Amino acid sequence: MFLGDHLNLRDDPDVAKLMAKHGEPPFVMFSESVLKINRRGEAVPRSMLVCARSVYLLDADTRRVRRKLPIRELGAIRMSELSDNFIALTYPAEYDVLLVCARKIEAVVAIQDARAGGGGVDGVGGVVGAGGAPPAEIPVEIGMSFTYRAGADVLKRVRFERLEDGDVDTTIEDEPR
């Protein structure tokens, strides 16, 4: 069983206002402190909030929305099978997001649950597919490397290597276009 709301955002009145403003049901499916890796490779602290319709990346200090990621537009989730904490959320219509999340499996489960409509009932919170059918599950692509679009014209490759001591070495590099 997952705890879900690790930042206790359900009790934050500013987050409740944010959710109401964006048409979200008042239910926090998952929250966690993460690092967003920007296009220059810098780690920027964020609070990740998973709701019924969207994933929000909030400023870690002010809790203002820095990016809203609609779950229905999410193309795939990319990650390794190792304990590296990296997860990429890919968006075909815009640039992707690379995050470092200590609870990456729990985050993926929460996003999948939101996509399946687990955040609400009968269109109140969940996402519905064509004809009212449940939407297709988000593909989770697992490998020892993956690419993501860090910006409009910036493609990056993330490589993972298991070291002899069991640790994971992660490399992020520009991918030739």
Is the per-residue pLDDT at 177 higher than 80? no
User: Predicted confidence band at 117 (pLDDT cuts at 50, 70, 90)?
Assistant: confident
Q: What CATH number corresponds to the domain at position 50?
A: 2.30.29.30
- pLDDT on residue 131: 53
Is the per-residue pLDDT at 55 higher than 80? yes
Average pLDDT, the chain: 89
- pLDDT on residue 146: 96
- pLDDT on residue 120: 47
Q: Angle CA(157)–CA(158)–CA(160) in degrees, nearest 5?
A: 140
Residue 104 counted as domain residue:
yes
Is the per-residue pLDDT at 61 higher than 90? yes
pTM of the model: 0.87
Is the per-residue pLDDT at 128 higher than 70? no
- pLDDT on residue 2: 53
Domain holding 112, by residue range, is 9-143
Question: Quick one: average pLDDT of 27-39?
Answer: 95
User: Predicted confidence band at 123 (pLDDT cuts at 50, 70, 90)?
Assistant: very low
Residue 16 counted as domain residue:
yes
Percent of the chain beyond pLDDT 90? Answer: 79
Question: Quick one: average pLDDT of 109-114?
Answer: 95
Is the per-residue pLDDT at 121 higher than 80? no
- pLDDT on residue 127: 45
Q: How many domains does the chain have?
A: 1
